[in-house]
Amino acid sequence: MNRQNTNQITGIVILIGIVIFLSLLILQQTYNPSPDKKADGPVFPRIYHNLVVYESRTTLHNADIIMFNISSGMQQDLSDHDGNQFRPDIDDDKVIWQDKRSGFWNIFLKNLTTGKTTSITNYSSRETTPQIFGDRVVYIDERNGSQDIALFNLSTGDEKMICSAEDIQWQPDIDGDWVVWEDWRRGPKSEGDIYAYYLPTDQEIEITNSSTSEWFPSVSDGRVVWQSNKNGNFDVFFENLTTREQIQITNDSSRQWLPRISGDTIVWIDERNKQWDIYGYNISTGVEIQITNCSGNEAWPDVSEDTVVYINYPEQGKAELMSARI
């Protein structure tokens, strides 16, 4: 594919990210947190059992990584360096994030048991958007000039390229032996597809192949969810990666977007009530539930077992880190 198309895709992907991020971030210029009473500007929460990590934004270009314990109410600043620390994720006793302390975006890890912070990557290119499961970390790697998907094994210290197809691969996620991501290898007219990779066999699987937007995948227990506008507006779709059975989870005329999955539970942002609410769906029972019903907007959902975290925007200029049991 020629450089003009590559630049066009890069522009589209960057624009998508900017529009979604700013549409959410513009609601929170100051912060009145709950249950967290200290940090500024929470965004991108991720949960593991009762532990939540998130960006605490002081400005658009500066953030620290904060951990909040839902059970104890205790909060901890995990950042040990001034500057930018973005996009955290957590699994077991390990927290990762992208960090620019060296002048370049690299991946850092904090071991909650030992308290030690280490650099996973140390390149002069950009490594961003890390996700972790067990001793495996996936992230976007740009050392070859475009966004690719790389994996680092914490136990062995080995790094491997999961996908270096043409153009852009981004928004990776990992759970168990599965890695998923959003893929633009077919050019700007594809508007993005979903791909998966099975680590034991090094097998890549094409989940979608359409001319509509297939974005923001999330994977758990060999099952992937994503948002698709194949029906004219964004809905949530699901596929069992073993049986290849695919199901449309939502079918409302309004937008359902930014899905996340944990076990049998899927959560997403839902606009059917003319505002942003958080809804959920149980795969085993087929039951959909409304998780939030506030006067403001709720966004950035994540789920671990029966606990959902999200950011509540009760009014413009205020943001609250919240959790709910389902």
Using the Cα atoms of residue 222, residue 226, residue 229 and residue 233 in order, give the sign of their dihedral. Answer: positive
Radius of gyration of the chain (CA): 19
* pLDDT the model gives residue 16: 53
Distance from C-alpha of 287 to C-alpha of 99, rounded to nearest angstrom:
40
- Domain assignments of the chain as residue spans, ordered by start: 3-325
Average pLDDT over residues 66-70: 97
Average pLDDT over residues 116-142: 96
pLDDT at 36 over 90: no
Where b means 16+ CB within 10 Å and e means fewer, 139-166 reads: bbbbeeebbbbbbbebeeeeeeebbeee
* pLDDT the model gives residue 28: 41
Count of CB atoms situated within 10 Å of the CB of 71: 8
Distance from C-alpha of 321 to C-alpha of 309, rounded to nearest angstrom:
7
pLDDT at 314 over 50: yes
Q: Which CATH class is domain 3-325?
A: mainly beta
Q: State pTM to two decimals.
A: 0.89
Distance from C-alpha of 2 to C-alpha of 274, rounded to nearest angstrom:
42
* pLDDT the model gives residue 6: 52
At 26, is the pLDDT very low, low, confident or very high (cuts 50, 70, 90)? very low
**What would the pLDDT profile of 246-286 be if each residue is shown by its tens digit?**
999 999 999 999 999 999 999 999 999 999 999 999 999 99
At 294, is the pLDDT very low, low, confident or very high (cuts 50, 70, 90)? confident
Distance from C-alpha of 174 to C-alpha of 139, rounded to nearest angstrom:
10
pLDDT at 180 over 70: yes
In terms of pLDDT, which residue wins out, 40 or 248?
A: 248
